Amino acid sequence: METGLQGKIALVTGSGRGIGKAIALALAAEGADVVINDVNLADAEGTAQEVRAIGRRSMAIRADVTSETQVKEMVEQVTREWGGVDILVNNAGVASVLMVEDMEKAEWDRVFDVIVGGTFNCSKAVIGTMKKRGGGKIVNIGSIAGIRTTQFAAANYAAAKAAVLGFTRQLAYELGPYKINVNAVNPFTTVTPLLLAISPPGMLEKLKDRIPLRDLNKPEDIADAVVFLCSERARMITGTSINVDGGVTLEVGGVDWDAYVARRKQALKERTRSQDR
């Protein structure tokens, strides 16, 4: 599939590892040159080296997305050295697992500053260069937690991701006339080294039973959705989001699969008995 990404300049925040790294490598594989942003410069440099190994240009920039000044300077550096930004992927984020009654205001603010504030700062910073370049793509990494309750997300994380989805829709409306597409990708639980390290034994296998496709996301699954939204194949898609969740949002009222099947098998037996009378 021709994506039209050859020679495009992409900026991926939080791309030193995990989902962000997978997105950066997937964009590079399609021909994009990729700016690797992370607060950990060593991680960013590692991803940048892998991008160069694919045969594309890459630069690693340490910048805190919560700082409007640092983000502005990052975009100015990319524009000065490479000419501008065609693609922005707002991936940087932090997690939280506290109950509201146990949560300090500072913890609430920390999550919002990175997820919502960072998305705002980076999006605002690239608008000018995208307008000058005749268009662009902005993809925000949301979450299933932003559209439904999950047992894994805290209230501040869920609220922040919901805010990102609202921001996505509104910004898409504002930037549509300039041929700038703005969309989101909503992952469910994604298997990363960090998740494997912190998950109790057997938890992830049990989680699979709640997912219609009976599997968990890999970072590459998220990356594939992002690449599509950044491609010319998605030129008429804006202001929407793609759920990459194995179908978990199809779950109805917390009914598990065994109960779902048993109820319908019982209904089939009752219908058969009725027809035999």
Q: Which residues are catalytic?
A: 157
What is the gyration radius of the CA atoms in the chain, in angstroms?
21
**Do residues 47 and 95 touch, judged by C-beta distance below 8 A?**
no
Quote the CA–CA distance of 154 and 139 in Å, as a whole number.
23
- Output the CA–CA distances (angstroms, integers) from residue 1 to 34, 222, 227, 230, in the order listed: 20, 18, 11, 13
**Do residues 187 and 141 touch, judged by C-beta distance below 8 A?**
yes
DSSP 116: I
What three-state secondary structure class fits 63? coil
Positive or negative torsion for Cα 178, 127, 242, 32: positive
How many Cβ atoms from other residues are within 10 Å of residue 45's Cβ?
16
